[in-house]
Amino acid sequence: MKNYKYYEITPEKIYNKRRNFVKSFGLGLGSLTLGSASLLNNAHALKNNSELTSYKDITTYNNYYEFGTAKGDPYKNSQGFKVRPWNISIEGEVENPITLSADEILSLYPSEEKIYRLRCVEGWSMVIPWMGFSLSKLLNKVSIKNDAKFVEFESVYDPEQMKGQRYPVLNWPYREGLRIDEAMHSLTTVVTGLYGKTLPNQNGAPLRILVPWKYGFKSAKAIVKIKLVKKMPTSSWMKASPREYGFYSNVNPNVNHPRWSQASERVVGGGLLSPRIETQMFNGYGDDVANLYSGMDLKKNF
């Protein structure tokens, strides 16, 4: 928290202005080198893809079934949720299993701003200025054994505080998983905050994972355990409906879902007249992550 005290007192409007300033500066440079055509292209891309979603929308429109299945439930039902004391254990196929408190993690690994697009499997998306650090930094601390092939994330189980867990909507506690190379990728983030502020409870406080090229449900919230394992873990959503939710769940416009369009998405906050935009392969992070899947049939391994 100490690392971004300055941001904490920055109101959203000024925050946005600052971002716009940085953006326009970037645009200016682009146009100097590539001519005016690219300026137009960039401007278009920015308009559709890079406008930050408002703090209000990010913090009141959530899928977090531990606090209820309606989009407004997490905000309503999580305000009294206690995020201290909080411990996270890193265990399994590691040389040095360890348990760290959330505060220890925050002080060990300085957070930086990371603006990523979040694409929900339900066909909507946001652009969120997260605060966080790469998960690889945390995983490097425990010396992973050679036979560890996957990482399993376990979220907190506390039906006293989490209303939604009193019903068997999903197999609690929430579990998610990544292949080890996915987990070690620099884009895979331990999130500690957003908009320069401490992470709100409804967004997965105190610490959550964020995997920007996968559908939102792959990014487990309020994690208490990170376990290195040999075999592919079964996530809560895979257990709920293996036909609909695969282990990889990379954002992929070519893999159809029985309920929602994956070819296009609506950017949250655009209002009644905002058009759908085309969903990009790997949520637009293909340049960074496509090599993780070379040679794989992504329709089979959805």
Partner 1 sequence: MLTQINQKYLKIVIFTLSLIPIFFIIYQIITNQLGPEPIKEITHHTGKSTLYFIIITLAMTPLKKITKLNIWINYRRMFGLFIFFYASVHLMTYVGLDYRFDLASIGDDIIKKKYIFIGFSAWLLLIPLAITSNKRMIKILKEKWKKLHRLIYLISLFGAIHYLWLVKRDLTEPLIFLVVLIILLAFRFRFNAN
Contact window for partner 1 (CB under 8 A) among 40-48, 135-143, 186-194, 252-260:
252-260
The values of phi and psi at residue 291, to 5°, are -65, -20
Which has the closest alpha carbon to 215: 243, 180, 255, 184? 255
Q: Minimum distance from CB of 261 to partner 1 (Å)?
A: 7
Q: Token pair for residue 181?
A: 């190379």
| Selected binder of partner 1 within 107, 264, 296, 301 (CB under 8 A) | 264
Closest CA to 263 of 253, 273, 251: 253
| 162-191 footprint of partner 1 as x/- string (CB under 8 A) | -------xx---------------------
Q: Give dist(CA 138, CA 90) in Å, integer.
A: 9
Nearer to partner 1 by C-beta: 122 or 288?
Answer: 122
Binder among 180, 263, 277, 292 for partner 1 (CB under 8 A): 263
> Which residues, at least 6 apart from 146, have a Cβ–Cβ distance to it below 8 Å?
none
**Site mask, partner 1, residues 201-240, x = CB under 8 A?**
---------------------------------------x
The answer to the question of residue 12 lying near partner 1 (CB under 8 A) is no
Stretch that binds partner 1, among 3-11, 20-28, 37-45, 269-277 (CB under 8 A): 269-277
Q: How far apart are the first and last CA of the chain?
A: 37
Query: Is 268 a residue that touches partner 1 (CB under 8 A)?
Result: yes
Question: Are the C-beta atoms of 228 and 132 separated by less than 8 Å?
Answer: no
159 binds partner 1 (CB under 8 A): no
Binding mask 95-124 for partner 1 (x = CB under 8 A): ---------------------------x-x
CA–CA distances in Å: residue 198 to residues 28, 68, 263, 272: 33, 22, 34, 31
Q: How crowded is residue 57: how many other Cβ atoms within 10 Å of its Cβ? A: 14
Please check whether residue 153 is in contact with residue 220, taking contact to mean a CB–CB distance below 8 angstroms: yes
64 binds partner 1 (CB under 8 A): no
- Three-state SS across 183-222? HHCCCCEEEEEECCEECCHHHCCCCEEECCCECHHHCCCC
Q: Which is nearer to partner 1, 85 or 271 (CB)?
A: 271
Longest dimension (CA), the chain: 59
Minimum distance between the CB of residue 215 and partner 1, rounded to whole angstroms? Answer: 13
Nearer to partner 1, 60 or 161 (CB): 60
- CA triple 293-218-48, angle to 5 deg: 80
Number of residues that bind partner 1 (CB under 8 A): 25
How many other C-beta atoms can be found within 10 angstroms of the C-beta atom of residue 140? 11
| Residue (187 or 267) nearer to partner 1, CB | 267
Assess 272 for contact with partner 1 (CB under 8 A): yes
d(CA 265, CA 247): 21
Over the window 66 to 85, marking each residue x when it contacts partner 1 by CB under 8 A and - when it does not, the resulting string is ---x-xx-------------
Smallest distance, partner 1 to C-beta of residue 37, A: 26
Binding site for partner 1 (CB under 8 A): 57, 60-61, 65, 69, 71-72, 122, 124, 169-170, 240, 256, 258-259, 261, 263-264, 266, 268-269, 271-272, 275-276
